[in-house]
Amino acid sequence: MTLKEINDFCLNSMISHLEIEFIEFNESQVVAKMPVNEKTLQPLGYLCGGASLALAENLGSAGSFFLIDTKKYTVFGMQVSANHIAPVKEGFVYATGKLLHKGKTTHVWDIEIRDDAGKLISAARVTNAIVERK
């Protein structure tokens, strides 16, 4: 898939609702950006940790999706955890996911979310189940 194809595929989903845009991918890394705006802020005006988790999980799931035969298999998030390191109030955040483990039935991704200045905002780990389609 091209970047345009993956971003078009994500239309009308949480990914597009949060305005997440995939900007780079290869077999071991995926990068996306998300605006810090009224859709992703918590009431006090900072990026919501839940939005960061949604970014991380969708990034890891997309990374696994790129690696499988989508006619035979699908991807389901099994586990996501994160540490929120610093607050951010505006601009964009950029998530970079790196593949740690590519097994037959599970993939594990480490994801760093950084602000426009490159400051670490959150660090996450996503584990995906690779499930045969029935």
Catalytic residues: 57
C-alpha R_g of the chain: 14
**CB 99: neighbour CB atoms within 10 A?**
19
Euclidean distance between CA atoms 52 and 125, whole angstroms: 12
The phi and psi torsions of 96 (rounded to 5 degrees) equal: -120, 120
